Amino acid sequence: MDRRRDVAFAVSRAFGPGLDRMSKRPGTPLLDRVTDPAELRKLDERELKQLAEEVRAETIDAVSRTGGHLGAGLGVVELTVALHYVFETPRDRLIWDVGHQAYPHKILTGRRDRIRTLRQEGGLSGFTRRAESEYDPFGTAHSSTSISAGLGMAVARDLDGRRNRVVAVIGDGAMSAGMAYEAMNNAGHLRSNLIVILNDNDMSIAPPVGAMSAYLARLVSGRTYRKMRSVAKRLLKWLPDWFTDKVALTEEFTRSFWAGGGTLFEELGFYYVGPIDGHNLDHLLPVLRNVANAKNGPFLVHVVTQKGKGYAPAEKAPDKFHGVGKFDIVTGAQAPNQSNLPTYTRIFGEALSAEAERDDRIVAITAAMPAGTGLDLFGQRFPHRLFDVGIAEQHAVTFAAGLAAEGFKPFCALYSTFLQRGYDQVVHDVALQSLPVRFAIDRAGFVGADGPTHAGAFDTAFLAPLPGMVLMAAADEAELMHMVATAVALDDRPSAFRYPRGEGVGVDLPAQGVPLALGKGRILREGTKVALFSYGARLHECLTAADELAGYGLPTTVADARFAKPLDVDLLHRLAREHEVLITIEEGSSGGFGALCLEALARSGSLDAGVKIRTLTLPDRNLEQASPASLYAAAGLNSAGIIAAVFAAIGRAEPARAAGRA
């Protein structure tokens, strides 16, 4: 049995009789004809169910080879087919919130031939990207941006006098972010013709729905009902207020009773339709046609879907199949991790849990990422001290500030790239009041397959200007344990410590973390010619570079800054004074650790002495997805790049055996 038949067989077992014909007939005959949505719209409506089955099989096969986000994409297969069938994409704008559910969309929009390059170096992005396709009108990899972007596009259309439709697809999880409601409030006020598809895949808003609900959704989204409703509203203006209020309440109750809700969205100015079964094309198509043909707006169409739909392992464990590595299609077994080293994320979760055993004032906050930040480990031991606030980083930061104001010790664990979303709150609600909120910043530096949208580049640069803020970066997993302990002990000011994604370097771990001396670095190796001053997990590349530089007659000192703020200025001045070359190395953007070092040296006059100083940072451009090793090599932040920077600083040609090294 070839691989495509394996996929069909595995999917048919999970999905039921609806895919029996696929298991008997290998290949994807309908999908082979659909090179773009224009070809899709030539199909007979009765063929769409089979097409959806083939898209589902293709998605499973592709992700089994590359890894990536699986469950969310499988949940929107029928919805994706229906949207491209009803709407005239790319003329009609289709925006996928977050974009991790857009793999079926990519298959149907001319990218099927590259779908097995997902998240690979030189391949397709794991999210939507404007530069990748005209069918991706807006790049999305952070949550809850789609309605705002869609409203901007709808208003631009209206200003230009165009008549295309704008559709934003947003999940119920993304609706936990305040930005979505800000956008809806504005959209309701502007009355622009915008269509929002609420993909409710956790059934957190409404229960499963059936034929009656689908019929009513089709009815209330239809032109006749909406016209009658509009006429009735105009007539009611001439009647007494008490009568108008009674009629409005009656309609609201009736629609809510039969359709399952929507009052909130109606109050925000949207015309609510649903909920409807997002896997039933017979229900989806007429409703989408109705809203597509409507001249007024905005609309919110509420569809209920299932994560992992059509693939049994993903249906049974949607959390494990949200993001996956390569896996076996028939069994669902994911490829084992080849390394036995613990990840930094796990080390953080275990270290914080150990500290919480000794201090019952420690609490933890996450923004819908308990497993991604390691706080699931904390939550297993202290379920009442872990707070998952949803996709709401702004709230997470100020919530933590409130806890700190009352004497608790909050650890707010966020990815670096998501902390950006709560920056105003860090400035105004935390730093301005010197509240001891501890920020655990995961995903420092390059993250590999998730690409530039998730790379942790800017946190040092945007946190350093804040008065009183303590900034640390872990060089290895033992240092991370010590920094957790340091943050616990810092109870009079805010602090942050950053660490990368992936496994540690394999150092021996202490029995427990010990608070570090504030603002003091350490020297790991002494030399006389070159000084490498590292901030973060590039330290071991510095040690490797120092070994080779010594062989070239360049004895090298390697120092670990530990702190960017307060900076160890005594150590910095010593390195500048006693060496011919000083190189700072960090996994962050310009304006961060290296800039702090240059400012300190300039302030003291140390730059006047003639020491050659270079700052190595992430480049001033976005690097697309690739392995972290490849990305750090491209950025010049591996041992070879460090050696090249040293030889460039001293004006000597780099020896050939070093220049050829990756």
Active site residues: 307, 393, 421
Dist CA 456 CA 418 (whole Å): 9
Show the tokens assigned to 295.
């001249």
Dist CA 657 CA 49 (whole Å): 60
3-state secondary structure of 307: coil
DSSP string, 232-243: HHHHHTTS-HHH
Counting every residue written for the chain, the total comes to 662
Q: Cis check for the bond before 628: say yes or no (omega within 30 of 0).
A: no
3-state secondary structure of 309: coil
Are 62 and 115 contacting, i.e. CB atoms less than 8 angstroms apart? yes
Dist CA 248 CA 407 (whole Å): 48
Cβ neighbours, 10 Å, residue 151: 21
3-state secondary structure of 96: strand
The crossing angle, in degrees rounded to 10, of helices 539-551 and 639-650 is 50
Residues 6+ apart with CB under 8 A from 461: 588, 589, 590, 591, 592, 595
Residues 6+ apart with CB under 8 A from 365: 386, 387, 388, 389, 396, 399, 400, 403, 410, 411, 412, 413
DSSP 8-state symbol, 208: -
Q: Report which secondary-structure segment, H or E, holds 523.
A: strand 522-525
Show the tokens assigned to 4.
């495509």
DSSP string, 431-495: GGGT---EEEEESBB--STT-TTS-B-SHHHHHTTSTT-EEEE-SSHHHHHHHHHHHHH--SS-E
Dist CA 445 CA 631 (whole Å): 10
Single out the residue of 27, 20, 37, 192 nearest to residue 106, CA to CA.
37
Show the tokens assigned to 318.
């949607």
Pairing of β 323-324 and β 271-277? unpaired
Dist CA 239 CA 221 (whole Å): 26
